[in-house]
Amino acid sequence: MQDMLLVLDFDHRYTAAVARKLRAEGIFCRILPGDSLPGQVQAMSPMGILLAGGVGGEVPKALDGRILNAGIPVLALGDTAASVCLLLNGSVGERQERAGVHTIKFAPSPLTEDMSESERLLVAIHPLDLTSDLSPIAYAENHVIGFRHNTLPIYALGFQIESNDLDGTAILLRFAKNICGCSDWWNESVFISNSRGEIAAEVGEGTAICAMTGGLNSGVSATLAHRALGERLRCVFVETGLLRDNEANDFLAHYRDVEGLNITVINAQDTILGALGGLRRVEQKVEVLTIAMKDILRDAVASLEYTAVIRGVTRNDLMDRGAEQDLLPDQGKKIIAPLSEFFKEEVRYIGEKLGMPPEITGRQPFPGTGLALRIEGEVTPQRLETLRTADSIFVEEIRQIGLHKKLWKYYAIMQLNEPEEGIGDTIGLRAVSLVDAQLGGVRALPARLPYDLLEKCVERILRACPEVSRVEYDITPGGKFLDAR
């Protein structure tokens, strides 16, 4: 195995940021939960360990102190610096609010080298009181917030690496290269080559199946597997009737006609719509759709012989769900998830390196539940068609003026109207930009679209959808669920 770092996850947001930044610099890293046991850590043979904590001042208690004595270099970031200080018999002062930009002063060390100071955003600090085995390397307003061990390769900094952070990137690379001895061997091409060999070795002389949803994650996973297995990979695609306008055709045109994947298409539109009939609550729709898809796929592969299941699961999925889930029956089969270490943004780069066109890799994120959750209230064929038409118009107008390159998501929803005589359907339009709020993490905020664009969208939607009487643009600051739809 080639050298790598291990990131222990004490905060999903910053774990993702650190892992992506390392891999962007060619340093391969893998991720384990923060409460992993020493045996689990050592089994992966990392060259070094990064503890990725948050910045809110909550001291993580899940870190197993034996990891610090494993002889592996450790760098604790954010709130985990206080955890390491406590485990090394130091003491930690009360949390102090520090919202804003502050000057961090550094002392020379293998980690900080000749850095003298750096401007950084801080939410809070925990002043650290060090034992004689520890030496301070970072200060905020004369409070120690970073240290190194005098004899062990252990370092801690009570702040996180920010985006566009040259000093932070330099710190990560010093730790990875100078202290841990890692090389910058990783890139997407190397991953694709390695993945091909690993999938072929896992499947051996057997066969594999993959359930394709129409999204990029399962598409990239299936493409990687196909390049390793060829015709020994069988793919199944369920046409649910819940995809966006022309999405199923575009999907098949690329993966079946261009990539040459062996894809069995199952038309389950009537089954899915029947299962959704009468359901109005989101939780009901999700539960029923999951059960229906599992039943459809189970029946579809019942007569197939296969030894492995290819999953399109990403690191985002594992963090969000806490465990791998799949729609295909996998009892007694090998599970292969080639993208399980990577975040959605990284999957796009892998897709590009595989030669996929921008219209495939640049497709907007779309939930597996399709348009069902973008329809408030009951899902009917007419409401689906109305929403699909409105969404297609909105997407087309945004792409025509090039705004799609600046937006994370842009979509239409069917809003729920109380039944009143003469009141038609209401379509809500929403466009979301990702904004780096630094210590607040990446936030999804409603985009400020040109009024002329919105006016044109409204005119076209009302003309194309006679049953729609009202079109609104939603500028509500989004929660996680709203924009997951």
Tell whether 276 and 344 lie within a shared domain: yes
Domain final residue pick, 147, 179, 211: 179
DSSP sequence for 332-393: TSEEE-TTTT--HHHHHHHHHHTT--HHHHTPPP--TTGGGGGBSS---HHHHHHHHHHHHH
Residue 55: the pLDDT is 86
15 within domain boundaries: yes
271 within domain boundaries: yes
Q: How many residues make up the chain in this entry? A: 485
H/E segment holding residue 137: strand 134-140
Q: CB under 8 Å to 46, separation ≥6 — which residues? A: 4, 5, 6, 30, 72
366 within domain boundaries: no
CB 53 within 8 A of CB 78: yes
Give the orientation angle of helix 216-229 with respect to helix 188-203, to 10 degrees: 60
CATH number at residue 411: 3.30.300.10
Domain final residue pick, 307, 329, 361: 361
Tell whether 103 and 212 lie within a shared domain: no
198 within domain boundaries: yes
370 within domain boundaries: no
371 within domain boundaries: no
Tell whether 150 and 21 lie within a shared domain: yes
Q: State residue 27 phi and psi, 5-degree precision.
A: -95, 115
State how far the Cα of 23 lies from the Cα of 186, in Å rounded to an integer.
7
pLDDT, tens only, 165-184: 888 899 999 999 999 999 99
Q: Is 206 exposed, middle or buried (0-12, 13-18, 19+ CB in 10 A)?
A: middle
Q: What is the pTM of this model?
A: 0.89
CB 9 within 8 A of CB 15: yes
Q: Give the pLDDT band of residue 321 (cuts 50, 70, 90).
A: low
Tell whether 173 and 275 lie within a shared domain: no
Number of domains making up the chain = 3
CB 155 within 8 A of CB 175: yes
Tell whether 38 and 103 lie within a shared domain: yes
Mean of all residue pLDDT scores within the chain: 90
Tell whether 133 and 25 lie within a shared domain: yes
Tell whether 135 and 230 lie within a shared domain: no
Tell whether 171 and 204 lie within a shared domain: no
State how far the Cα of 428 lies from the Cα of 84, in Å rounded to an integer.
49
28 within domain boundaries: yes
What would the two tokens of residue 20 be?
């992506």
Task: Check the CA dihedral 125-172-41-311 and report its sign.
Answer: positive
Residue 118: the pLDDT is 87
Provide the domain limits for residue 251: 188-361
Tell whether 351 and 386 lie within a shared domain: no
Domain final residue pick, 330, 361, 392: 361
Tell whether 357 and 292 lie within a shared domain: yes
State how far the Cα of 145 lies from the Cα of 158, in Å rounded to an integer.
5
Q: Can you tell me the mean pLDDT for 442-451?
A: 86
Q: Which of 18-32, 151-165, 385-399 is the least confident region?
A: 151-165
Of 366, 398, 370, nearest to 288 (Cα)? Answer: 370
Higher per-residue confidence, 1 vs 190: 190
Tell whether 171 and 29 lie within a shared domain: yes
CATH number at residue 240: 3.40.50.620
Q: Can you tell me the mean pLDDT for 83-108?
A: 90
373 within domain boundaries: no
Q: In the Cβ-directed half-sphere of 426, how many Cα atoms lie within 13 Å? A: 14
pLDDT, tens only, 211-259: 998 899 999 999 999 999 999 999 999 999 999 999 999 999 999 999 9
Tell whether 259 and 319 lie within a shared domain: yes
